[in-house]
Amino acid sequence: MPEIKEISVGPTRGLRRIGAHSHIKGLGLDEKGHAKKVAAGLVGQIEAREAVGIVVKMIKEGKMAGRGILFVGPPGTGKTALAVAIARELGEDTPFVALSGSEVYSTELKKTEVLMQAIRKAIGIRLREIRKVYEGVVKELKIRRVRHPFNPYLLVPREARLTLATRDDQITLSVSEEIAAQLLQMGIRKGDVIWIDAETGRVHKIGRCKGIEKAKYYDIEAERYVEMPKGPVKKEKEIVHTLTLHDLDMLFAAQRLTITALLGFEAEREISPEIRREVDKQVRKWIQEERGEVVPGVLFIDDAHMLDIESFSFLSRAMESELAPIIILATNRGITTIRGTDLTSPHGMPLDLLDRLLIIPTKPYTEDEIREIIKIRAKEEEVDLADEALELLTKIGAETSLRYAIQLMEPARIIAMRKGRNKVHREDVEEAKRLFIDVKQSVEYIRKYEEMWLK
């Protein structure tokens, strides 16, 4: 007789990417713009968060033209976290481009070209157009397949017959193989709400609509449900696309590349100023015709002290241009040399550029704030900390650095698992601290064996 046993399986750790700032959801401000002590993944930095809240308001109202922001503070005080919070507050529709100051030095592109591409990526264009579409719920779908002309064992779609319905109308369509292939690739089935562009044949899926006869539904589905559309199936619909200036640059450059390739000319790696002028001219035309609008995004440059005098001059000019994003810089340097010169300056930046920036300082975290941050990161990384382990990590974070304390959590968890425990105790953190030293211990190690190092 067959035997069946039930096996209880414990929770598994998912294969998901946990970033350094994946826990941040926003700025954590109340309705009046005051920062809560612990909210939206951020802890402390009350004045800085409230200042950033004002900046976000200015960005949304379009009153940040010609200005930039500079986050200054010691390492590990949340400068990058505040930039990520700005991106979360602005929403998915607002372009947000992040790069390090060292990324502008490329062997293939000039520094100004790298910066220009980053700036163009951070400027969005929201286009609106009226298109004729067929929109409704899929009530019937039949796809006719034929053998592939070069592979008789492979069936390919030749055409499709589908019925779209709304609350007031119903149409049966016969579509070509290009549209049939899209329906297959997108997994369109009965009960889906879709629209098909009558001119281009592009298919777009909106969601699922319950209550369609013969359609299959599941208790758990990772799809959103929408109401059944009203009115006629064939209609005019406003379609909204959000592109960046860099997307348009690449599109125009690709069109010119096709012509130059036919003529036998070598393709350029950089986008020429003529192409960008054509794109800007087209964008202004769309704006005048009220078909589009500019969506100023955010360009965040971390370790901005790594830029040189030429890059700073380029950014100063870019901030004054008609189409410019919000430029946010961050640095952990004090008085230091401006790269490319022999001059020293606050934060390693020219004084004329600093005069254009709204400077927001971040301060070192207190011990209580470090404890709260470690709690948030432990929850995000699914590390179960005992109270004594939390206190030791807090002490380590206060005496060495917050980053070092956070980095010890995952090694301590693995050490605890090897000992047959799911909870991390104090001795696990102590063992991880013994195996992985901090910066101060590394300096002492270098001095101890100074004579043995190769020079």
Write out pLDDT tens, residues 415-454: 999 999 999 999 999 999 999 988 888 988 888 888 888 7
Structure token pair of residue 172: 């049966």
When pLDDT is averaged across residues 57-66 and rounded to a whole number, the result is 73
Residue 386, number of CB atoms within 10 A of its CB: 17
Q: Across residues 235-256, what is the average pLDDT?
A: 84
From residue 104, alpha-carbon distances to 112, 147, 410 in Å are 8, 51, 33
How many Cα atoms sit within 13 Å of 181 on the Cβ side? 8
Q: What is the mean pLDDT of residues 241-252?
A: 87
How far is it, in rounded angstroms, from Cα 79 to Cα 182? 44
User: Is the pTM above the cut of 0.75?
Assistant: no
- The CB density around residue 294, as the number of other CB atoms within 10 Å, is 19
Amino acid at position 300, single letter? F
Of 28-37, 166-175, 264-273, 274-283, the least confident: 264-273
Tell me, which fold does domain 367-448 have in CATH? Answer: Helicase, Ruva Protein; domain 3 (1.10.8)
* Phi, psi dihedrals of residue 295, rounded to the nearest 5°: -115, 95
Greater model confidence, 40 or 57: 57
Distance CA 395, CA 404 (A): 11
Q: What is the DSSP string of 149-207?
A: SS-TT-EEEEEEEEEEE-SS-EEEEEE-HHHHHHHHHTT--TTEEEEEETTT--EEEEE
Give every CB contact of residue 272 below 8 A, 6+ residues apart in sequence.
Answer: 253
Rounded to whole angstroms, how far apart are CA atoms 363 and 48? 9
- What is the Cα gyration radius of the chain? 29
Evaluate if residue 10 carries a pLDDT over 50: no
CATH number for the domain formed by residue range(s) 128-240: 2.40.50.360
> Is 56 within 8 Å of 86 (Cβ atoms)?
yes
Mean pLDDT of 41-45: 81
pLDDT digits (tens, 9 = 90+) for 332-387: 998 999 988 888 999 989 998 888 888 999 988 889 888 988 888 888 888 899 99
Residue 261, pLDDT above cutoff 60 = no
**What are the residues whose beta carbons fall under 8 Å from the beta carbon of 324, sequence distance 6 or more?**
65, 66, 119, 123, 296, 318
Average pLDDT over residues 224-235: 86
Would the pLDDT of 267 be above 80? no
For the structural domain made of 43-122+297-361, what CATH number should be given?
Answer: 3.40.50.300
- pLDDT tens digits along 152-190: 778 888 888 888 999 888 888 888 888 888 888 888 888
Tokens of 184: 């297959």
Q: Which of 343, 363, 342, 361 lies closest to 351 in space, CA to CA?
A: 343
Statement: residue 221 has pLDDT above 70: no
How far, in Å, are 16, 40, 49, 75, 397 from residue 37 at the CA level? Answer: 28, 10, 10, 21, 19
Contact 362, 160 (CB under 8 A): no
- State the pLDDT confidence band at 219, using cuts at 50, 70 and 90: low
Tokens representing 13 are 């750790």
Domain boundaries, the chain: 43-122+297-361, 128-240, 367-448
Whole-number Cα distances in Å, 276 to 338, 434, 441? 31, 56, 52
